[in-house]
Structure 1
Amino acid sequence: MCCRGCQAVAQAIVDNGLSEYYSNRTALPGQGHEILPDELKKLALYDHPDIQRSFVIDSGVNQREAVLILEGITCAACVWLNERHLKQLPGVNSVQVNYANHRARIAWDSREISLSRILQEIQLLGYNAHPYSALQADALRQSRRKKDLQRLAIAGIGAAQTMMLSVGLYAGNWDGIAPSTVVLLRWFGLLLTLPVVTFSAMPFYRAAWSGIKSRHLNMDVPVALAIITAFIGSVWVTLFGGAHVYYDSIGMFTLFLLGTRLLEAGARGKSIESAENLLKLQPTMAIRLRAGLQEYVPVLDLLRGDSILAKPGETIAADGTVAEGMSTVDEALLTGEPRPVLKKPGDSVIAGSINLEGPLTLTVTGVGENTVLAGIVRMVDKAQAEKPHIATLADRTASWFTLALLVFTAVVGLAWLFIDRTQVLDIVLAVLVVTCPCALSLAVPAALAAAGSHLIKRGILVTRGHALETLARVNHVVFDKTGTLTQGKPAVMDVIVLADLTAAQCDVLAASLEQASEHPLAAAFKGRVLASDLPAVQAARNHPGQGVSGVVDGQTYSLGNQDFSPASRILAENYSTRYPGATLVWLCDATRALAVFVLEDPLRDDARQTIATLRTRGIGISILSGDNETTVRHVGAALGVSDLHWQQKPQDKLAVLQAIQRDGAIVAMVGDGINDAPVLAAAQVSFAMAAGTNVANQSSDIVLLSNRLDDVPQALETGRDTLGVMRQNLFWAVAYNVIALPFAALGYVSPWLAALGMSISSMVVVLNALRLR
């Protein structure tokens, strides 16, 4: 062994029953190295709370979670080894390594194991791990893209030059050419194709070998087989003579395939890039307020509860609540809505949004991985890791198709040995290339990636892999009422003055009485009057279930429901019938009713249009609510919905939903994501209205970051469009192979034409997916 680290990892692999690693790996990882004392000290720094604050999430009591970037991942066996080894460590709860972006999500119990120990174990395996950051991830992605472009450029140069040489060879077959010139042109072709085969096509070999070792025949197996067979055959002809060389076909095949893969990778990465770009908008410095002084500090030095200043025009540095000031904030990065949002004391703000008008003093509630935007990136990453049923089916079909293709190719090759030996290599290459299942494997992922990118730009965050597929089949939508169809904030819609007072005087009295109240309706009164204008209240008292009372300027007043004061009971019946669905609050003195406040939870601005749009599409609509019958019927009448259910507890809502499903409906549930958790989980697909800092905790399939209801029909339409594009892509891929295969097997398609046809079919699939805008 080169060091004690290698000896330790070898012993750990054997002792833990992981010897299968040696049969699964397809490339050697970086060498493990001794963890020297200085190295251990560096790793120990990651256990410091101040450092962990920037990337470690507290997911429960003593439960921690972090996202790391693993360097040195070369194949699927590397992923397997890291996951299996780390999961066997005491205290490690879960490990998920994403092979596509080399990102590892690790959860552990801090009482049993430290983060530095986990990092040490990863290093002993021969890999390096460091905390994930959007900037580093972007740098790695750009590095991979640069390498892909280099491969594409080499393939392009090689293909162009070998095609020029092939023109001479093909022309010579007609007009005559000296044998020495043919040999010279073939040697030039070999030299030009060598970089293409050894550098540009290397990803195909690695992926094919990984598939073979894991007993999963992927689409790279016939690709690699075609390139290697064509190159060996061409080298043989160059050295010993023969009819044809295939350097031009190799170059074109590799070029077109790399170009298609680059397009597909771009489409697949758009959704995660869109989310990660949000994180890059967060500033690195903030103005912290301490003892009346301002100081510039790194954002990662901020603690929960710190006070920071956001000046007009600046990007807000951390999640927080407004402590002082009033201003409008641009949250378009999160919601997709260009309209500024007014923020006043008590309101939540999100890191990365822009303060537009006045200075705001904020109390920090989240930094680093504990911000809303970081939570969104985690949800996007999780959604990408989940495959919908149709994607899994397409992958399985492609695998079986690859096996069938290889068997068919062998049969065709044997048949042509008896028909015409000189045509065997041409035919075999044409069959391998023309029917490569690239288009079939790309049909679904390309559509899902394009749709996900489109939705997140609109402020629609898909958090489950199956959601897009299910959206296409939804034929019934169930809405929660409070906070979903309505704004969830009761407001005073009208003031009916019954005595010799003005409406403004009644507002002041009502707000004064509600000063100390924490009832949900109290905010509707306190928001109508400035706190500085409120008179002092003596003998303030809260009467549960009735209202509040107090003495203002020597006069006793009460504010509450119709049964709270004898004066209000006399008039209550007349006004309750005049305002169906509203809450009436009565302001009275000791002898008479002074005013009636009409409170309603207003409908969202887009509620009527959303319901109308769904109805025109033939989608059934129901409303579930825990509110009383009168209020629910009032909302239903305003929206034109007849299937209404009131006074519903969570278990009642679940029973109603299940009854709708038993009738054969595919149900989408739209709720607040918190109180409606059981019914959201039971629906085939669920939407949650984003609620500021709660967005990262939503358990729904889709989160409406824009908080707009009209995004529900938009998401349903995108789901249908996506399923349509998937079916078009699958039909095209299957039809192309069914049509092209007989022609290739019968010798009517040359290898270079097969490469062109295969590449065009893959490009059609990707470009068709990119139509999802």
Structure 2
Amino acid sequence: MNTKRCDHCHLEYDTSLLLCDTHFNPPKFFCCKGCQGVYHLLHEEGLDTFYEKMGETTLEPPREHLEESSRFDLEGFVSKYVKKTSEGLSEISLIIEGIHCSACVWLNEKVLSRQAGVVEVSINYSNHKAKIVWDDSVIKLSRIIETIRSIGYNAYPYDPKGGEERANAQRREYYSKLLVGIFATMNVMWIAIAQYAGYFTGMQSNIKNILNFAEFVLATPTLFYTGSVYFKGAYYGLKNRYITMDFLVATGATLTYVFSLYAMFTKNAEVYFDSVTMIVTFVFAGKYLEVLSKKKAVDTLDAYGSSLPTEVMVVLGDEKILKRVESVDVGDVIEIKAGDKVVIDGVILHGEGSFDMSRLSGESVPVLLRKGDKLLSGSLCLDSVIRYEAKQTFSSSMLTRMVTLLEDALSKKPLIEKFANQLSGYFSSTILFLALCTWVFWYVQEGSFEKALIVAISVIVIACPCALSLATPVATLVGLGLAAKRGVLFKEAGFLESMAKCDTLVLDKTGTITKGTPDVVEMKVLKEVDFSLIYALASASNHPMSQGVRRFVKEHETSLHVKSLEQVKSIEAKGLQAFCEGHFLMGGNAKMMQEAGIECVLEEQFHALSHYFFAVDGELVAIFGLKDSLKENAKSAIEALKALGLEIVMLSGDHKSVTHVIAKEVGIAHFKAGLLPDEKADYIEALHKKGKKVVMAGDGINDTLALSKSEIAIAMGSGADIALDVSDVILTNDSVKSLYDAFVISRMSLKVIKENLAFSLLYNIITIPLAMSGHIIPLFAALSMSLSSLIVVGNSMRIKMVLKRL
């Protein structure tokens, strides 16, 4: 007997009796779920060293029900994972393991909502994260988790580190199951061709028996391995008195398989193992497509604030102390230096400096803030030492409020998903009822169990949602493939349909329509100057304005020489000064020049631009006007989008004058400027109230809240990681033209999907009565099912031909 030691209690057991936990690398083995639960608890609390200290000592295995029922109610567990709402209710985020379709989400929500004391349940299908709110005086968390496990799923506190690992494991599992199904289907179809030919032309019984057995060998792993997901879903659906699509697929495939076994051994009827493999594999392919195109199972909210410090420097008289952000009180004085990120909202008390506000406002140029100006969390200090007074706590600051609003937005579920879940239940119940009525009728009419069973199986097989299931995934697969070739990545197949129904496109300005970096568009040389000096000074600063000037000089001047700067000094929030070859150089904004006694007069063409002034030995010699330039083909792409009948709106955190110029250049009539992230989100919600269905395109952290409020969120590939995570569609080539491609592909795909669904419904309306009347045997039911699938696939291929004209 092979034995192995339990990784918790260290007692030895037969390896066949141990539980293997693949969440760990290498996998861990446990003698019972109690040991497994305690090991998980110690690991989550960072107490893994317990086992090093334990050495070879053995333990008494814990009682399984104690771990299942009690650890979730322990004070340490509650303080770490459970938070209180403003109403005094308890709230937790759980990962529910085992969800493989939208019906699973529906089932969990239905069952949990029945529990007394559970106030709210919302499960995000894309990452399986559940938000549960409950009254702790009525029901305990342990009971909630036991309920989830009782219906066949597992639940544990949300852990962002293990999310991607679980998603990859699921993809690998589905991939291996699909490979088995495809291999079996391809081979069984060749055998079926021989079977069908022999049916009409005659075939020796011994050859037929060999082919039947070969089909049996191929159909068995397809049904019980590839189709295991349907058996599991059907079992737990029945356990909770719900009939799902899983039950219909499992029933049709199983009855066909059982009857084929009977036919193979008795030799009294035809076998239909080919139908078994086709039913399971075709429907499973649609599920695999969903798994491949799911969003990353990472927590967007963690990514939002992952780069923020957990401590800040608080000034107490002449003393400075580090204080955790959660402990900072209103009125505390906080000091930040160049490179520090603002965590708490406040008002500047001493100093002035440039702040990168791109995370909040999308401002392409740093903003100069002085004493008395408001400072928002999420800003980045670029070049000075600032002291400011906290006006909010950490929990009520801008960035934290954005996270809270985003969490609420992500928990909303589209109505179409709820409707689809209800429809699938009705469809499954109806088909099973019709099949049962058919069996009863024919058994009473003919008195033959075999005849009644054949006709009933024909109803289930011919009505099996093969064509219905393929109607969407095949068309979307074609659409997704074409979109990917054009630099458009849809994270879920269903987003094609959602996008096609939208009538309004909201565009962020910076990084979406424009390049996101200021470039020189106007230059005025007041006195003769060596551009090598300008290039040297501009290269000494990482400020976006300086870098824009540096790029411009490098591109337009061919006779640049290397210059060495001396005594380089950064003037806080104003610019840079240095000595070079005996000359005193200054480069920066108007305030810097005015303080040095240099007069700056701007001509009209500079008024809507950002400015960079360059002076030599106290004389102004050059002025540069900078603007964030349009992306290539932005104007033509927006004209094409308007031709599709879309209403286009541009939102920006930039000044109105700058925003107006960009809007005019690309031909957008409706725009809003100077908006903060929550104001962008409010604008999206206002459009919703007007009945608009909105697609939002953006690229920065400042856009994520608005993105989450839209039906479809589109991120530019070069955007911030958080924008990519919260988005539904990614434009990998950063091209506005790809937006047009995405709309055309989604609309064409939806049109084909509707045609496929119409055909599938018409097919069922015609064929189900024929099957019920006994005019179609399972053999021809399988053939007609295959034919309907081929028609759906062939119609989906039309998308390629139509889109070639793009």
TM-score (norm 1): 0.60
Aligned 1:88-167 pairs, distance under 5 A? 90=77, 94-98=94-98, 132=165, 143-149=176-182, 151-152=184-185, 155-156=188-189, 159=192, 162-163=195-196, 166-167=199-200
> What amino acid is the match of 1:405?
I
Match of residue 656 from structure 2: 629
Of residues 546, 558, 578, the one that matches 1:522 is 546
Instruction: Tell me which amino acid in the other structure corresponds to 1:95.
Output: I
Deviations 1:464-516 (A, max 9, x none): 776433311222222222232221211223432222335x24624xx42x566
Distance change >3 Å, CA 457–CA 598, structure 1 → 2: same
Question: Which whole-Å deviations, capped at 9, do the CAs of 1:397-430 have from their partners, x for residues lacking one?
Answer: 2332221122222323333455544654443333
What amino acid does structure 1 have at the position aligned with 2:705? P
Q: Secondary structure at the match of 2:601?
A: helix
CA deviations over 1:587-617 (Å, ceiling 9, x no partner): 2346643222232221111321221121211
1:247 corresponds to: 270
SS in 2 for 1:500: coil
Query: What code does the residue aligned with 1:534 have?
Result: K
Deviations 1:449-476 (A, max 9, x none): 5544554554434457764333112222
Question: Which secondary structure state, in structure 2, belongs to the residue aligned with residue 653 of structure 1?
Answer: helix
User: Closer, same or farther in 2 for the Cα pair 1:767/1:695, shift >3 Å?
Assistant: farther
Amino acid at match of 1:686: A
Query: How far is the alpha carbon of 1:560 from its aligned partner?
Result: 3.8
Q: What does residue 435 of structure 2 align with? A: 409
Distance of aligned partners of 1:670 and 1:762 in 2 relative to their CA distance in 1, 3 Å threshold = same
* Cα drift, residue 700 of structure 1: 3.2
Does the 8 Å CA contact 1:568/1:588 hold for their aligned counterparts? no
- Counterpart of 1:478 in structure 2 is 506
**Match among 728, 746, 753 for residue 780 of structure 2:** 753
Answering whether residue 231 of structure 2 is matched by residue 206 of structure 1, we say yes
1:236, 1:134 → 2: CA distance?
40
Aligned counterparts, 1:34-73, within 5 A: none
How big is the shift at 1:261?
4.2
Q: What is residue 281 of structure 1 aligned with on the other side?
A: none
Please state if 1:707 is matched with 2:734. Answer: yes
Report the RMSD for the aligned CA atoms in angstroms.
5.4
Aligned with 2:642 (options 615, 623, 633): 615
Aligned 1:530-609 pairs, distance under 5 A: 533-538=562-567, 540=569, 542=571, 544=573, 547-562=575-590, 565=593, 572-573=601-602, 576-579=603-606, 581-589=608-616, 592-609=619-636
Distance (Å, rounded) in 2 between the aligned partners of 1:521 and 1:136: 47
Report the CA distance between 1:149 and its aligned residue: 4.4
Summarize the Cα distance change of 1:185–1:505 in structure 2 as closer, same or farther, 3 Å threshold: closer
Are the counterparts in 1 of residues 290 and 493 from structure 2 also a CA contact under 8 Å? no
- Contact 1:624–1:648 at 8 Å: present in 2 too? yes
Q: Using the alignment, how far apart are the partners of 2:264 and 2:647 within structure 1?
A: 70
**Alignment match, 1:15:** none
CA distance in 2, matches of 1:188, 1:541: 87
Q: Tell me: CA distance 1:498–1:251, structure 2 relative to 1, closer, same or farther (3 Å).
A: same
Matches within 5 A, 1:277-292: none
- How far does the alpha carbon of each residue in 1:616-640 deviate from its partner, in whole angstroms, 9 at most, with x for none? 1121222222323332222122112
Per-residue CA distance 1:77-119 (angstroms, 9 max, x = gap): xxxxx99999789467633425559999899xxxxxxxxxxxx
Give the conservation status (yes or no) of the 8 Å contact 2:461–2:778: yes
Query: Deviations for 1:320-339, whole angstroms, at most 9, x for unmatched residues?
Result: xxxxxxxxxxxxxxxxxxxx
Question: What displacement does 1:436 show?
Answer: 1.8
Partner residue, 1:398: 424
Q: What code does the residue aligned with 1:520 have?
A: P
In structure 2, distance between residues paired with 1:234 and 1:538: 90
The question of whether the paired residues in 1 share the 8 Å contact of 2:519 and 2:627 is answered with: yes
2: CA distance, partners of 1:237 / 1:643: 70
| Secondary structure at 1:602 match in 2 | strand
Q: CA deviation at 1:737?
A: 0.5
Partner of 1:490: 518
User: Using a 3 Å threshold, how does the CA distance of structure 1 residues 226 and 668 change in structure 2: closer, same or farther?
Assistant: closer
Aligned to 1:260: 282
Pairs aligned (count)? 575
Shift of 1:686: 2.3
Identity of aligned residues (%): 23
Q: Which amino acid aligns with 1:601?
A: D
Paired residue secondary structure (2:701):
coil
Does the residue aligned with 1:217 lie in a helix, a strand or coil?
coil
Whole-Å separation in 1 of the counterparts to 2:642 and 2:696: 16
For 2:548, give the aligned amino acid.
A
**Could you tell me the TM-score, scaled by structure 2's length?**
0.58
What's the secondary structure of 2:668's corresponding residue?
Answer: coil
Q: What SS is found at the alignment partner of 2:613?
A: strand
Please give the secondary structure, in 2, of the residue aligned with 1:618. coil
Distance 2:241 2:263 in 1: 33
Give the Å deviation of 1:7: 13
CA distance in structure 1 between the partners assigned to 2:289 and 2:164 by the alignment: 26
Q: In structure 2, do the counterparts of structure 1 residues 770 and 144 end up closer, same or farther at CA, with 3 Å as the change threshold?
A: farther
- What is the distance in 1 between the residues matched to 2:216 and 2:585? 94
Contact 1:686 1:701 in 2 (8 A): yes
CA-CA distance at 1:131 after TM superposition: 9.5
1:232-281 Cα shifts (integer Å, max 9, x gaps): 668878999xxx94324x234225435534754675566479x99xxxxx
| SS of residue matched to 2:758 | helix
Change (3 A) 1:408 1:268: same
Flag structure 1 segments of 5+ consecutive residues without an equivalent: 9-29, 51-81, 108-120, 172-180, 277-384
Contact 1:493 1:598 in 2 (8 A): yes
Instruction: Provide structure 2 residue ranges, at least 5 long, that are not aligned to the other structure.
Output: 10-27, 49-66, 82-92, 105-125, 131-148, 155-161, 298-410, 555-559, 801-806
